[in-house]
Amino acid sequence: MMTEAHRHSTGNVNLDCEATAKLARSLYVQAVAWFLRGLPTNLTPYESLSLEAATPRSVVDARVHLAMVPDSSQRLTPLREPTLLHTFTAILVFYVLALVELVQPWIKMVVAHAYRLEKEHEMTRRVIDVGFVTANDLGRRGVQLVQAVCRVPDGTVGEAMNTAVVTCVQGVAGGVRQGVDERRRWTKQRELVKR
């Protein structure tokens, strides 16, 4: 082990095969990691500084980089209280998911009957044709509405509309997320109680 450490520290690694060199390097790094894990927990300040000085800069930089990356399990806390729309949407999503869970067997039955009807009457083609016509008409009207909204000056009315849209989007998005999270938590608690 000491010989291998000396060879790697001086850069004189002359092994016959590249695979053997990779294996030897991997074993060497793993052995150093085991040595570090075996260190006592009550190191003196001098021992800690000595180990820190001996640690390669690339390892220290990697640890600093990992410390800066936010943990995905940490949630960003809202800066303000949730709005009424946010709360209402969370409650609505919670109960809609509960209702979907309750009626799921009937939904499966309706889908099975719809599949049989589709096989007999080819209703999908008709629905798609009507859907395309409707979507085209809605698209035209939507473009007209967007053009009208874009003509609104950037004054007080435009600002009020912008604020209203942002508040609504944040409220709905936050409420949907909170409702789904609460429903998931409630379902997990129910499963734990069943066990």
Lowest-confidence region among 1-15, 123-137, 145-159:
1-15
So what's the pLDDT on residue 110? Answer: 92
Query: Would you state the pLDDT for residue 78?
Result: 47
User: Would you say residue 166 lies in a domain?
Assistant: yes
Instruction: For residue 185, name the pLDDT band (cuts at 50, 70, 90).
Output: confident
Give a yes or no: residue 79 inside a domain. Answer: no
In a domain, 7, yes or no: yes
Half-sphere exposure of 68 (CA within 13 A, CB side): 6
pLDDT category of residue 175 using cuts at 50, 70 and 90: confident
Domain match, 93 and 38 both: no
Between CA 160 and CA 12 the distance in angstroms is 71
Residue 44: inside a domain, yes or no? yes
Report, as an integer, the average pLDDT of 133-147. 78
pLDDT of residue 126: 78
Q: Of the ranges 14-28, 45-59, 64-78, 118-132, which one carries the lowest mean pLDDT score?
A: 64-78
The interaxial angle of helices 156-194 and 84-121, nearest 10 deg, is: 70
The pLDDT score that the predictor gives to residue 10 is 64
Q: 3-class DSSP state for residue 151?
A: coil
Stretch 128-153: mean pLDDT: 76
| Within a domain: 74 | no
What is the 3-state composition of the chain as percent helix, strand, coil, each rounded to the nearest 5? 80, 0, 20
Region 73-99: what's the mean pLDDT?
77
Asked if residue 134 and residue 184 are part of one domain, the reply reads yes
Is residue 43's pLDDT more than 60? yes
Residue 154 shares a structural domain with residue 102: yes
Average pLDDT over residues 19-34: 76
Q: Is 76 contained in some domain?
A: no
Residue 52 clears pLDDT 60, i.e. is over it:
yes
